[in-house]
């Protein structure tokens, strides 16, 4: 009987600790709003969603963790270089505490960014993964994972093709 009660208690405790964290849905909505503001190129409004102690994993090869000022520079850089940015999420998933493996209110998403490089007119489409952790109702950690080098190469190739087309037109 004692073993049965212990097993029942374990099942009840386990069932109470699985499932989504109570803050998952609200935090996911914060992250979605943050991305919507990014698509609208509204950097000033985006800053309201970022905790001053943010530590962000940047997508560039070998890039160190970034703080607030580097994140702001990256965001404004995207806004300066691209137009028509759009993120289509495949899905949003709950995150977990890396030490316990239990849901912690963080959120993550897989999806595709599309945009047009302003200077070259080159269209880009890049699959990505983004993770967000929160503190005091603001984004305090996470990162972006996508093929930044591949995107830059595609833009460069588009610029080279555009230059070749212009040369061909001038020769005719």
Q: Do residues 134 and 140 touch, judged by C-beta distance below 8 A?
A: yes
For the chain, the first-to-last Cα distance in angstroms comes to: 93
Per-residue pLDDT for 12 more than 60?
Answer: no
| pLDDT, average across residues 62-89 | 97
Does residue 83 belong to any structural domain of this protein?
A: yes
- Dig out the tokens for 123 from the structure: 């269209």
pLDDT value at residue 172: 63
Per-residue pLDDT for 8 more than 90?
Answer: no
Per-residue pLDDT for 11 more than 70?
Answer: no
pLDDT band at 2; cut points 50, 70, 90 = low
Does residue 165 belong to any structural domain of this protein?
A: yes
pTM > 0.95: yes or no: no
Name the domain count of the chain. 1
Does residue 3 belong to any structural domain of this protein?
A: no
Does residue 5 belong to any structural domain of this protein?
A: no
Q: pLDDT tens across 85-120, in order? A: 999 999 999 999 999 999 999 999 999 999 999 999
Does residue 79 belong to any structural domain of this protein?
A: yes
Does residue 126 belong to any structural domain of this protein?
A: yes
- With tokens 């703080």, the residue in question is 67
Distance of CA 84 to the CA centre of its chain: 17
pLDDT value at residue 168: 82
Domain harbouring 145, CATH code = 3.10.450.50
| pLDDT, average across residues 30-58 | 98
pLDDT value at residue 9: 46
Structural domain boundaries enclosing 79 = 21-171
Q: Do residues 146 and 128 touch, judged by C-beta distance below 8 A?
A: yes
Per-residue pLDDT for 70 more than 50?
Answer: yes
């Amino acid at each position: 009987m004692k073993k049965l009660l212990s097993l029942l208690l374990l099942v009840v405790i386990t069932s109470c600790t699985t499932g989504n964290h109570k803050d998952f849905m609200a935090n996911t909505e914060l992250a979605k709003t943050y991305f919507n503001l990014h698509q609208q190129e509204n950097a000033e409004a985006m800053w309201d969603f970022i905790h001053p102690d943010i530590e962000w994993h940047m997508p560039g090869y070998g890039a160190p963790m970034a703080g607030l000022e580097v994140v702001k520079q990256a965001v404004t850089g995207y806004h300066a270089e691209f137009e028509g940015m759009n993120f289509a999420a495949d899905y949003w998933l709950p995150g977990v505490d890396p030490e316990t493996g239990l849901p912690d209110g963080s959120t993550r998403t897989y999806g595709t960014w599309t945009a047009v490089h302003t200077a070259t007119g080159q269209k880009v489409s890049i699959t990505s993964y983004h993770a967000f952790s929160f503190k005091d109702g603001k984004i305090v950690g996470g990162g972006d994972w996508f093929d930044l080098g591949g995107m830059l190469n595609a833009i460069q190739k588009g610029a080279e093709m555009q230059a070749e087309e212009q040369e061909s037109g001038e020769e005719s």
